Chains A and B, each alone.
Chain A
């Protein structure tokens, strides 16, 4: 799977929008961009995924650059409960190595200040 690069940590104020960046310059045409997050003392949970177009769901929005070499996870109004490690992961549709497993990087630790 292609590699992603994320900042180690970010800070945000409560009630403000948060933009979490992810670079994936070696992304291939069949790679989907997934975001998971891990709240303290919990297992990771799915946030959102996309291929080319921007995506919205009840948790967040995913903005994908036109060249797909980067993406941004947007939390529209951060709450204290959004403090977590956010992981950007690429998952390919092709290849014998594609079994559905997720390979996690180091992620971005988001701190939300009241």
Chain B
């Protein structure tokens, strides 16, 4: 158990809909990262927040947005869903910015299926 909690574990929805994925980082971790893993793209970095502020952005679509709240939990919002958005979405956390030596702790993921 990494200490990172993601909900829901599974989600099935239809094209055009909007969903919210939630992540609770390990106690004391200030940094939260979101990743998308699909069969053909591997693990893709989406976005990172540090203590409530956006810190880094990866290949995140404009239809997706995220935020980190004062209690440090984070939400990833996916809207106007398409079939290709079906994937595993992972959240990770680290104590600080992790820099070059710190460890990232990953949750078990939220599996999104868009029908």
Q: Which A residues lie at the B interface, using CB under 8 A?
A: 30-32, 36, 38, 42-46, 49, 87, 91-93, 97-107
Contacts and interface: CB of A to CB of B under 8 A. Distances in A.
Most buried by B among A44, A93, A106: A44
B2 A100 contact: no
Given A42-B108, A45-B2, A91-B100, A100 B42 contact: no
A43 B2 contact: yes
Interface of B: 2, 4, 31, 33, 35, 42-45, 48, 50, 55-56, 58, 90, 92, 94, 96-109
B106 A92 contact: no
Given A32-B100, A100-B96, A104-B42, A45 B106 contact: yes
Contact of B45 (A43, A98, A102): A102
Contacts of A102: 33, 45, 92, 104
B56 A99 contact: yes
Contact of B101 (A32, A36, A38, A44): A32
